[in-house]
């Protein structure tokens, strides 16, 4: 009989709705959150996609005040203060973020700055002094979110924006639970309006969150359950996302992503670990995180399993390979099959942003990444060992 260790877990997610056509309820969700006139916040591509925006607009009805389509993938902080100005222009008292993680991060920061009153220069000065964005001790405008990609940032308390005024970007991370959306609508119909390439590029990142939720040091029975269920859905459905045979494919994918990221909606967000550390190591070379995860998830898991158990039996059960004689190898193979089914690269040499002579500095960043501290007890690879893993992935 397994011992159950003591644990503490506080979930800070807002109301979650899932299902086809769920954006039709945005007006009701906004009313419940206390909003009357909503500014939709999105990027230019989403804003120009009528298949996405028309259902959102219809769902909000006469509560739609206007649209601000100025968010960018690099989460430029100018979008935050420009969004605050757009709220004033449209007399909006609330926000609806429609898009991926970058848009939702900007919208949450916008939520804070709309109350703090900082202009762009003042916001930058605050970040330089405090290392994060303001956390106003006042009522915040209601915020709803309509995710459109699969990376799974929408339920994390951790977000960031960046300033690009000089030669180097100034990043501002934040982890204020009060900035979390009041409600989220996971609508498979909306996800199907996102180009398949964008979905596939984000899918591996979201999938890996489920893997890490099981072996990260802060895992508990409360976080295990949704992660296992989510992985069971994703392992079968993700490879079919590019050519879905029926509506159930996208429904399973969206439900699976929601389930594997749900454990991270907590005041103690320490469920990202080794794979994400490798992703961060490659990010500064300009590698998109979904591609970084696609290449590095299998070798990162091999590195983990060479050193510790890594809850391989539970992972094997979640991925449907628990009858294998060697669960560690079976888990690695199953993860590689999901990647291959998504048509993603399997070697670092296939990524144009990475040169082989960059691997030592990638190894150094990976070794120093904060997420390495979330790995299971006993896993502490040095920089040389990490470099060997990167070389094998080359």
Could you read off the pLDDT of 191-205 as tens digits, one per residue?
A: 999 998 889 989 999
CATH number of this structure's domain 15-191: 3.40.50.1970
pLDDT tens, residue by residue, 219-259 = 999 999 999 999 999 999 999 997 767 889 999 999 999 99
Q: Which CATH superfamily is domain 196-393 in?
A: Dehydroquinate synthase-like - alpha domain (1.20.1090.10)
Strand partners, 174: 159
Residue 268 predicted with pLDDT over 90: no
The H-or-E segment that residue 97 falls in is: strand 94-99
pLDDT tens, residue by residue, 67-82 = 999 999 999 999 999 9
Record the tokens describing residue 94, joined without a space. 């609330």
The per-residue pLDDT for 1 is 62
The single residue listed with the structure tokens 């206007």 is 66
The per-residue pLDDT for 165 is 83
Residue 168 predicted with pLDDT over 80: no
Mean pLDDT of 339-361: 95
The C-alpha angle with vertex 287 and arms to 281 and 291, in degrees rounded to 5, equals 100
The per-residue pLDDT for 34 is 97
The per-residue pLDDT for 131 is 93
pLDDT tens, residue by residue, 367-392 = 999 999 999 999 999 999 999 999 99
CATH 1.20.1090.10 residue ranges in the chain? 196-393
Nearest to 320 by CA among 240, 236, 219, 226: 236
CATH 3.40.50.1970 residue ranges in the chain? 15-191
The H-or-E segment that residue 301 falls in is: helix 289-307
Q: Check: CB of residue 105 under 8 Å from CB of residue 75.
A: yes
pLDDT band at residue 116 using 50, 70 and 90 as cut-offs: very high
Q: Please indicate whether residue 296 or residue 168 has the higher confidence score (pLDDT).
A: 296
pLDDT tens, residue by residue, 271-308 = 899 999 999 999 989 999 999 999 999 999 999 999 99
Q: How many Å apart are CA 365 and CA 294, to the nearest integer?
A: 19
Residue 153 predicted with pLDDT over 90: no
Q: Check: CB of residue 129 under 8 Å from CB of residue 177.
A: no
Classified as helix, coil or strand, 96 is strand
pLDDT tens, residue by residue, 300-318 = 999 999 999 999 999 999 9
pLDDT band at residue 10 using 50, 70 and 90 as cut-offs: confident
Q: Check: CB of residue 254 under 8 Å from CB of residue 188.
A: yes
Q: Check: CB of residue 280 under 8 Å from CB of residue 183.
A: no
Record the tokens describing residue 83, joined without a space. 């969004």
Query: What letters, b where the CB count within 10 A reaches 16 and e where it falls short, cover 336-346?
Result: bbbbebbebee
């Amino acid at each position: 009989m397994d011992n159950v260790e003591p644990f503490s877990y506080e979930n800070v997610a807002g109301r979650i709705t899932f299902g086809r056509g769920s954006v039709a309820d945005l007006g009701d969700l906004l009313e419940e959150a206390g909003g009357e006139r909503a500014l939709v916040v999105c990027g230019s591509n989403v804003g120009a996609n009528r298949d996405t925006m028309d259902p959102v607009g219809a769902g909000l009805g006469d509560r739609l005040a206007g649209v601000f389509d100025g968010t960018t993938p690099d989460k430029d902080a100018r979008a935050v203060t420009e969004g605050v100005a757009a709220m004033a222009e449209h007399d909006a008292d609330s926000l609806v973020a429609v898009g991926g993680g970058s848009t939702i991060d900007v919208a949450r920061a916008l939520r804070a700055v709309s109350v703090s009153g900082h202009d762009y220069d003042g916001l930058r000065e605050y970040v330089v002094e405090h290392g994060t964005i303001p956390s106003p001790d006042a009522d915040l405008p209601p915020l709803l979110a309509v995710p459109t990609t699969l990376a799974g940032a929408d339920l994390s308390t951790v977000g960031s924006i960046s300033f690009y005024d000089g030669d180097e970007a100034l990043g501002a991370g934040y982890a204020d639970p009060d900035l979390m959306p009041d409600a989220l609508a996971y609508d498979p119909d909306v996800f199907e309006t996102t180009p398949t390439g964008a979905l596939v590029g984000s899918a591996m990142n979201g999938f890996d969150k489920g893997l890490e939720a099981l072996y990260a040091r802060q895992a508990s029975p409360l976080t295990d359950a949704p992660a296992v269920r989510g992985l069971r859905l994703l392992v079968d459905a993700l490879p079919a996302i590019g050519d879905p045979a029926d509506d159930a494919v996208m429904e399973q994918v969206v439900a699976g992503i929601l389930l594997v990221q749900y454990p991270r909606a907590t005041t103690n967000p320490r469920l990202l670990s080794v794979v994400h550390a490798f992703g961060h190591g490659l990010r500064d070379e300009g590698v998109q995180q979904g591609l970084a995860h696609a290449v590095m998830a299998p070798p990162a898991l091999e590195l983990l399993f060479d050193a510790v158990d890594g809850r391989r039996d539970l992972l094997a059960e979640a991925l449907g390979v628990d009858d294998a004689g060697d669960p560690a190898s079976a888990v690695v193979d199953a993860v590689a099959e999901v990647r291959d089914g998504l048509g993603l690269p399997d070697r670092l040499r296939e990524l144009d942003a990475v040169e082989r002579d960059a691997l030592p500095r990638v190894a150094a960043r990976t070794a120093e990444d904060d997420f390495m501290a979330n790995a299971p007890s006993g896993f502490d690879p040095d920089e040389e060992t990490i470099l060997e893993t990167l070389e094998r992935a080359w």
